[in-house]
Amino acid sequence: MRVTDVMQTSLRTIRGTDTVAEAVALLAENHVTGAPVIDDHGRLGGVLSNSDILEVLAEHADPEERESIFDETLVQEVMTPRPQTISPEA
């Protein structure tokens, strides 16, 4: 069995310049827990997961601070950078 046999090909992507609020909406609308983060040239720059978002929220005890994270924080600030990749032929 190869990676290409089991990989997902219809991905929803997020841009690093999107806000966390925009990313959360995309994840919820598509019923996924994470998405690749691409740059303006379509290159993979990271991955954003629910865990990345929860980790940032956990760092702020004040509810007002937590709320501001959604609108004031960019995906590139909370994503996991430089994800490990593998060839579809592997």
**Structural tokens at position 25:** 């909406």
**Structural tokens at position 16:** 């690093």
pLDDT tens per residue across span 27-80: 999 999 999 999 999 999 999 999 999 999 999 888 888 888 889 999 999 999
pLDDT recorded at residue 37? 97
pTM for the model: 0.85
User: Confidence class of residue 85 from pLDDT cuts 50, 70 and 90?
Assistant: confident
Distance CA 14, CA 60 (A): 24
Paired sense of beta strands 44-49 and 34-38, if any: antiparallel
14: pLDDT strictly greater than 90: yes
